[in-house]
Chains A and B, each alone.
Chain A
Amino acid sequence: MEKHYDPLLKDTLFTEKLPNGLTVSVLHKPGYKSATGRAATHYGSIDAQFVDPNTGKEVHVPDGIAHFLEHKLFEKEWGNVSDRYSEFGAESNAYTTYTHTEYHFNTTQNFAECFDLLLDFVQNPWFTDESVAKEQGIIEQEIRMYLDDPGWRSNANLLEAMYVNHPVKIDIAGTVESIHKITKETLYLCHSTFYHPSNMVVFVAGDVDPDQVLSMVKASYGKKNYKPQAEIKRILPEEPPKVLEKRREQKLVVNQPLFRMGFKDHPTGLTGSDLLKQDLTTAVILDAICGRSTELYTRLYEAGLIDHRFGFEYNPEHTYGFSQFAGPTRDPDELEKRLLEGIEAARQKGLSEADFERAKKKTIGRLVSIMNDLDGAAYMYIDGFFKGIGLFDLIPTAQGLTLEAANQRLQAHFDPARAAVSVIVPK
């Protein structure tokens, strides 16, 4: 395997790409008692429309199917995968995002058995009409749980307001109606298309032997005779630069309004180091204009418009991207007005060297601390992998950010014409 040592993090990463297209990476962590194994596919909730590589035909599957598939891969003819992990004394779980699906275990014992099981259960689906029907009941409760979650709803409403056509505006889990349209046949089709090794990555972190990991992967994937598969053609509708609506409101049982404002990226399409630079630059800008150390934050806080729960982040993806600011507030209209004014003032003046450097330092420190635990490192690796970003690129890229580029980005991204607001108001 190719070995890459990072002198700053003092971590070593081993990587190899197999002939079937699968990338295997091992982050070697001497002294760690636990290890994690992860398999992920570049397949998320936004990939509901694609060209079937076998027939060349365009298909449109029900919303929420990637997440449904994630649930269903845990069920096998012989029983339940997470029960088997428990028997090994391991924990297992999975998650689906807009862009990828990830399966993992964490264990301090029986690593080899756990890892073999991971490679096997993710690649070998078993669906029946009965098991699909049963899962519809469970996922319906999952969807209903989120219907009562103000943070989740406020986020969903912002995406619905910001995007005209892009499927990021649709909930990852789909809707109660859409999941009832899912059948075992469509599940098999999605699995065979998106769980091809060329669309996947396997990642391990812990005090394990990288060569042993690699040979286990080769043995497991060798059992299945994968034919080469061309890159999957994903169909996304054209997304105009403008937002669909400036504002969306929903009433829920909450004690005070929950405010969220987003700025939509246009154009999109970046990958690799360009996307990473944009990601970190935007993160630094956000902190430099309304982080805790700033005048804007102080003014909003002292006016009682925000409290310690106020936060912000940038969500960078290849096909979409947006910044958001969110928190409970006594007066969403006033908060919106003053936030927009503060951001506009920063655009007029540009960031100061001091604020920029301070925010950059903080970003570097935070990147170091994310690498503290195996879960954090694994998340960063997998999220970055499908964007063409390496784990060890993060800190050097952050160190290389410039004030000039930040001020350009500040101008381009925070255009009030591409802002939308979502408010949850008390019922």
Chain B
Amino acid sequence: MTESFTRYSLAEGVNLHIQPTRKFKTTVIYVYFHLPLAPETVTSNALLPMVLARASADYPTTAELSRHLDELYGASFGIDVSKRGEVHSIVFRMEVASEQHIPGESGLLQRALETLAGIITRPALEGDGFKADYFRQEADNLKQTIEGLINNKTRYAMVRCNEAMCKGEPFALYRLGRVEDLPNITPQSLRQHHQQVLSTAPVDIFLIGDVECEAARELVQRTLELPAAGPQGRKMPATNIKREPGRPVQEVEDQLDVNQGVLVIGMRTGVTIKDDAEYFPMLVANGVLGGFPHSKLFQNVREKNSLAYVAYSAVETLKGAGYMYAGIEFENRTKCQEIMLQQLKELQEGKIEDDEFETTVASLVNDVLSAADNPGAMADLAVDRVFSGRDLTVEERVAAYKAVTKQQVAAVAQRFSIDTVYFLNKQGGGE
């Protein structure tokens, strides 16, 4: 069996990607609606799937919907909103046990798909809006969830750094939206937004499991009925890439009553998934800098200097942003920052040991290969393919990593420029 998705176009801007496999004991379906990340819609985009997930016209209360899913052997249904570059995607996910592992059952996948399609396209309504109670409860839940970002100091620090770095750009928006928008959204306006989403957003559907391609395509096409696209068609939103900060490095500090400081250094990498020549060198550069336990940041911040338990770097591959992160003692802020910047400098100067380099490539290759054993990771790679517009097989991705040279890595790292240094300090904390 080949390990690659077969792609079908169900309509203009609506694509189905099927990976037939008997490796897994479940079948998983992801449905992505891609929308522009914009201040006017960010909060509605986040709220919409929360309200839809409560019920459907077929199962008009949450308890009924939930009982129905239980009867499908605990079919697991979930929603999310993801942010890749300035594309805000609403994601619906359904996972159901394969019939080969449930004796005497048939049609589980079909029933799961029908349920999913009902949730997405046939909501429980009151007049021309969503059910008022469900709407109100979810608006309140979203408010609490947005405000609850502060409960996780790691995530909070990352979001705050990014917000400061990209101020004025859509990318500064938090993926769950803004509390201040909530009073202006009504059950009616959200329902209108829903119809807008269904008819304008490009759609990608990923199906991974024990299916036969043609039959699965037919099943999805028959089950998930989307309205015809409007005159504008379904267009993939664009992301604006800023190559340089365009100002001196900015320093941002928050103070909270916490036990540990968090240092996040935000960078503009200037390189994205669409840059054919530099994309793989950039991933290797991040790997050498801080992607793994053997990387420069972990080795120098944690292993050599005992400053942190967590120290790493990460890149955002659609916007061209990067982050270096460490959780540290408050008084070690300057020392840690110096070490991190020194590591970036060494990378840019090409001071990369052979084993550092080879180890990074081997680790990235392992990540690509092992993705084939996990449905979620397979879907992620398939989403990457949609965004890059580059249809690489697993083998081609492996070859691309192996072809990267140290010179390319140093050259691409020279484009990384520090934008914002963020520190989460203790209350009343100085340096």
Contacts and interface: CB of A to CB of B under 8 A. Distances in A.
B292 interface: yes
A254 B150 contact: yes
A365 B73 contact: yes
Interface stretch (A15-23, A134-142, A343-351, A386-394): A134-142
B147 A256 contact: yes
A32 B373 contact: yes
A89 interface: yes
Interface string A358-400: 1101111110110111100000000000000000000000000
A150 B151 contact: yes
A91 B366 contact: yes
Contacts of B417: none
A108 interface: yes
Interface string A150-163: 11000000000000
B62 A80 contact: no
Contact of B66 (A29, A149, A255, A292): A292
A254 B259 contact: no
Given A86-B359, A364-B73, 12 more contacts: A29-B23, A33-B370, A106-B366, A134-B303, A141-B310, A253-B256, A256-B147, A297-B63, A302-B137, A309-B145, A368-B25, A372-B375
Interface string B293-333: 11000000011001111100000000000000001110000
Interface stretch (B99-107, B231-239, B275-283): B99-107
Given A10-B100, A83-B294, A362-B73, A298 B62 contact: yes
B144 interface: yes
Contact of A9 (B25, B70, B259, B260): B25
Contacts of A220: none
B148 A89 contact: no
A149 B375 CA distance: 30
Contacts of A427: 257
B390 interface: no
Interface string B5-37: 000000000000000001111100000000000
Interface string B131-149: 0010001001100110111
A229 interface: no
B363 A89 contact: yes
A10 B362 contact: no
B358 interface: yes
Interface residues of A, number: 68
Interface string A283-298: 0000000011111011
A86 B26 contact: no
Contact of A86 (B67, B362, B372): B362
Interface string B58-96: 000111001100111111100000000000000000011
28 contacts: A10-B100, A33-B370, A80-B293, A82-B293, A86-B293, A86-B294, A89-B366, A91-B366, A109-B362, A138-B306, A141-B307, A141-B309, A141-B310, A144-B259, A145-B260, A149-B153, A255-B149, A256-B144, A256-B147, A293-B63, A294-B63, A297-B63, A361-B71, A361-B73, A361-B74, A364-B73, A365-B96, A369-B26
A185 interface: no
A199 interface: no
Contacts of B329: 141, 144
B258 A253 contact: yes
B403 interface: no
Q: What does DSSP make chain A's interface, helix, strand, loop or mixed?
A: mixed
Interface in A89-114: 89-91, 106-109
The 10 A-B pairs with the shortest beta carbon distances in the complex, nearest first, are A365-B73, A137-B306, A89-B362, A365-B74, A362-B74, A108-B369, A142-B309, A255-B147, A34-B370, A147-B259
A332 interface: no
A333 interface: no
A112 to B, nearest CB: 15
Contacts of A368: 25-26, 73, 97, 101-102
B38 interface: no
Given A138-B309, A302-B137, A362-B74, A369 B97 contact: yes
B314 to A, nearest CB: 16
Nearest to B306: A137
Contacts of B76: 366, 369
A308 interface: yes
B221 interface: no
A237 interface: no
Contacts of B362: 86-89, 109
Nearest to B96: A365
B213 interface: no
B374 interface: yes
Contacts of A33: 369-370, 372-373
B185 interface: no
B359 A255 contact: no
Contact of A134 (B144, B292, B306, B374): B306
Interface string A49-92: 00000000000000000000000000000001011001111110
A33 to B, nearest CB: 5
A87 B358 contact: yes
Interface in A240-291: 253-256, 258, 291
A301 B369 CA distance: 42
B260 A148 contact: yes
Interface in B104-138: 133, 137
Most buried by B among A29, A83, A359: A83
B151 to A, nearest CB: 5
B355 interface: yes
Contacts of A228: none
